[in-house]
Structures are given as structure tokens and as C-alpha cells.
Structure 1
Amino acid sequence: MRTGGDALLRPDDGDAFRQAVRAVRQAADMPVAFGGQAADGVLRLSEHAGVRTNRLKGLRVRAAAGLGGQVLTHRRPAAVSDYATAPTISHDYDGPVLAEGLSSIIAAPVLVDGSVRGVLYGAVRGVARLGDRAMELVVDATRRLAGELAVRDEVDRRLRLLRAAETAGPREQVALEEVRELHAEFRAIAQGLADPALRDRLHHACDRLAGLTSAPEATPRANLTPRELDVLSQVALGCTNAEAGNRLSLRPETVKAYLRSAMHKLDVHNRHEAVVAARRQGLLP
């Protein structure tokens, strides 16, 4: 999903599904994996790994139809050991499935806030069957993907709040503490992301937040690292080293080391002066 016309585009969710499909195939050692996003009760199979034909590519699966449609409807994982003869599903899609020679198939929903955002499948050809361990691996992949999508949704929500604040009126009307808390939370989210594009997008948003409250002084900025800024953003909220470490998944000693390095670069002697100097330089809101 992308937000048209935005300067900060949401990464294509199809990329996340593509990575998840590859992860299913590799982790569970399955010859075939596929999946895609769901909207308005229809699943589109856009991502594939290990297929031999084009029959599954772009296939639209309706709610309650076939194995994937059953997963869409019931919002829980399902499996068949022999797709061609399975009595628990409809056989609307026998043509493309059997053209791939698939027999044992697992399908699991990608659930975000109770809504099915897509389905991931793992499958084998011939008479081989997929057991409980394979089901666990597919479900784990859907959970990881759901977590990534949830983060992207939250980033979008908060960016909409940021835009609303920017257009609400003069800078004085922006709630300063809310901006600072938002900045710190963005940095905490960003440091745990594996997606470089999404991490860069959040850092860009942090830079915008830092510029909301005051213009930086016309002096050279200290060259703080992302981790040093992460720590300073938490310290600016009044967090102790232990609290900052908990928010950033860092040890208190590591937080102390980053803070000491930031203080040295800012040429200050304590954490309060570090926050003041960073704000003057436009590094923090």
C-alpha cells in the first residue's frame, strides 16, 4: 500500500509479503510458497516462490472458496493433506492448484487488529505431507509479517497527526510536549526496524518534528549518530538511563556510553546541557 502524493511514501506492502513468502519456503524447507494481500473479502495471490506455471500468479480467491477463502472467512490457519480430494474445502481452484501438482497445503492468515490483511501458503508436490512443525513455521511467518504491517500502520497514523499539527496554525499552537514524545517514540520504533526504507522514512519524519518548534542556530551541527540521537530523545523526556534503555532495548551501560559520546560532541558537561544544545542545533524538538 502506498499513500499517493505524499513526500514520505509508505513502502510497498507487496515487498513485505514477498519477503515473508521467501521466509516460509526457506524456514519450512517447502518446495512451494505463495501468498498475497486481501481486501474487500478477496485475496490476490501476487507473491510466489518455487512455482512452475503461471496458473497461481494473480489468482483472485474469494471468501469461503478453496483453502485460502476458508482462511479468509474463519480467520484461522487451515491445511489439507490431499488438495484434490479434500472434503473440507470447495474446489473452485482445482485447475491452477493441481496444474502445479500441489497436494499438501497449509494456509494461514495475516491478522492485523483482527482483520485479515493477507494469507501465506506453504505447499508440497506429490504424496508428501506437511506436519505440525510446518504449520508452526507458516504461522510464525504470518505473525512477523503482521507485526511489520502494524508498525507501518502506526507510522502512517502518527504522520497524519503530524500533518494535522503542521496545518493547525502557528507553531505556538502545537503542543510542544506531544511533539517531543512523538519524536522520541518515532526514534524508538525506527531503531528496531529491519526495513531500511521504513527506518529512513521515520528518521526523516523525526527531522521534520525537530524543525517544528524552533529554527536551528546558524552554527555547525554536532555530528551525532542515530543511536546518540535515540538516547538524547529519551533523555529529553526526563527518562533515566534505565528507562531509556528499556524503551530502546539497550542496556543502561550502553545508554550511558551513547550519552557520554553525545555530550562530548556537543561540548557540554551534563545531560541537561546536552538536551539544550541539541535543541539549539535543531537536532531535537
Structure 2
Amino acid sequence: MAPGKADALLRPRDTDALRAELRQVATVGSVPVLFGGEVHGDTLLLSEFLGTRTAMLRGLGVRSSSGLGGASMVAGRPMSVTDYRSASSITHDYDAPVLCEGIRSILAVPVLVDGVARAMLYGAYRVGGPIGDRTAGLMVASARRLSMEFKVRDEVDRRLRLREAHLAGFGETVAAPEDIRAVHAHLRRLASDSTVAPGTAAQLRRLADRLVGAISAEQTAVSAPLTARELDVLAQVAMGCTNSEAAQRLSLKPETVKSYLRSAAAKLGTKTRYESVSRARRARLIP
């Protein structure tokens, strides 16, 4: 991905979606070691890890055709080895970091967009033997979901670029409400990220609150103030996200998203998610 200055702000980080999928596989499939990263040109950069014991894999660049991941990247299909140390079907460029982790059996799954690997997912065990069908199925399903997510994000970026080109042709400089709402949702998602420092998160929330006033709306009474998390969820729903998509973007469980929506609806006096978004906008809680 090579975002422009506008969609660099609007587009959520693809690594966040990748991390959420790895967490899902770890939880549902009980896979002891999971890692992955985005592909940049002909090199995979490993950035996301669960269950690793050392830092030797962190930041590793895997070249196309090199190692198991490189071979899977080029082939465009999942590939596995039952005993990494003795595998003769792959190159052994990365033996040191892999073997230091104690990894023996490993599965690499490419995330393909239009036939090109955009990311890689790995699942590994510290014992030899074939990767089970259940684990393989979970990882392939994760790769497919990521592929669809990336396609959707690419299309959003494409449309934003077209709109920018159109507005530039007319000398337009005022942002549309949809753009402001997209920025607002993205700021709140960033502020909710557990890796963001508290001071930075507070600043992001203040910026998001300032955007709310950019779209005029009739002020309506709300029985109780919404919490930051309730507003985070409503901001994603306002962008058309399903509960599962909002959960993925905010690193929450779908059930937790439902709980926040129910509590927000009770405070707003609404019955549906769409009524909640509408009432929150009228109350100038979200743009």
C-alpha cells in the first residue's frame, strides 16, 4: 500500500487488522506461535507476534522465494513443513531466528489481493508433525477475511483520490461531511489503541471532539453522557461498520461492541443502531 497524504490519515492501519486476525486464531485455534506482516515490494516485513519467546524474528525482512514464507509468497498459496530444521523444500536463510524460537512445524499463508501477496500469516508449533486441518482452516479463513478487508480499503482509497482530483479541478477546499466523519472515526479508533500513550490518546480524542463541531446540527438532550468507548463504537457504526468490523477495528470482541451499543441506546433513548447514530449526531456527540 502506498497511501497519499489524505488516505494516510483516513485509512486504518492494515497491521491492526492483521494483528486482530492473529489474535482470533490464537484464541480459537490455540496455536502457540503466530506471527506475520505486510509485504512491501518483494520483501515481507515481520511486525506482529503472538507467543514468541525471543525478539529475533521482530523486524525481519523475508525476501521473495527465500524461506518458507518467501516461497509461499511467490507461489500464492499456503505452504508448510513438518520439521523446519530438516526441510529440503525451502531455503534456510532464516534458520537462526526460527530455530532460536524452537519452531519445528510451521504453516505460511499468503493474503492475496488480485493475485499478489499483500501480507503473510504464520502459525507454528514447537513440536514436529503435520499442521492440523483445523489450524490450517482457521488461518486460511483469516487470510481470506484480510484479503477482502484490504480490497475494500483499496476501493475507499481509490474513490477518495478520485474525489480529491475532482475537487482540485474546481478549486474546492472545504471538506465534505463524509470526509469529516471518516477522519473522526479514525481519530477515535487510534485513541482507543492500547499501544498509544495516554497523553497522545487524550489529544486524539480532543481533536475528534473538535471535528464534531464542524458539522452543524440541532442540539438534543441526552439522558446521560456517553462513555469514550460508546462513542468509539458509534463512530465506527456511523461509517457503516458491522459489529464484527467495529470489533476488529477497535480490538474488541463483537459481544463487547454489542454491549456498548446497548448501553449507548439506553442513554440516547433509541431502539436501533441507526437511531442511535442519528440521535448522537443531533446531540453533536459525533459528526
The range that moved more, 25-34 or 126-135, is 126-135
Alignment length (residue pairs): 218
Greater relative contact order (Cα < 8 A, sep 6+): 2
Does the 8 A contact of 2:83 with 2:129 survive in 1? Answer: no
Q: Which amino acid aligns with 1:87?
A: S
> For each residue in 1:142-200, what CA deviation from the matched residue of structure 2 results, as whole angstroms up to 9, or x when unmatched?
111112211211111111122122222278xxxxxxx9xxx7xx99xxxxxxx956xxx
Q: Which has the larger radius of gyration?
A: 1
Q: Which residue of 2 aligns with 1:146?
A: 147
1:39 aligns with 2:40: yes
Does the 8 A contact of 1:35 with 1:119 survive in 2? Answer: yes
Q: Which residue of 1 aligns with 2:117?
A: 116
Change (3 A) 1:64 1:136: same
Task: Give the TM-score, by structure 2 length.
Answer: 0.61
1:163 aligns with 2:164: yes
Q: Which amino acid aligns with 2:29?
A: A
Change (3 A) 1:105 1:152: same
Q: Distance in 2 between matches of 1:165 and 1:47?
A: 38
Matches for 1:191-206 after TM superposition, within 5 Å: 196=189
Does the 8 A contact of 1:228 with 1:261 survive in 2? Answer: no
Q: Distance in 2 between matches of 1:12 and 1:2?
A: 12
Q: Distance in 2 between matches of 1:17 and 1:228?
A: 21
Q: Distance in 2 between matches of 1:229 and 1:42?
A: 36
Q: State the identity %.
A: 43
> For each residue in 1:200-250, what CA deviation from the matched residue of structure 2 results, as whole angstroms up to 9, or x when unmatched?
xxxx9xx9xxx9xxxx8xx84789x9899899xxxxxxxxxxxxxxxxxxx
Q: Which residue of 1 aligns with 2:92?
A: 91
Q: Which residue of 1 aligns with 2:17?
A: 16
Residue 41 of structure 1, CA deviation: 1.0
> For each residue in 1:20-42, what CA deviation from the matched residue of structure 2 results, as whole angstroms up to 9, or x when unmatched?
22222222211100010112111
Which secondary structure state, in structure 2, belongs to the residue aligned with residue 70 of structure 1? helix
Q: Which residue of 2 aligns with 1:25?
A: 26
Does the 8 A contact of 1:66 with 1:92 survive in 2? Answer: yes
Gaps of 5+ in 1: 172-178, 188-194, 198-203, 232-256, 266-285
Gaps of 5+ in 2: 183-187, 191-207, 222-233, 241-270, 280-287
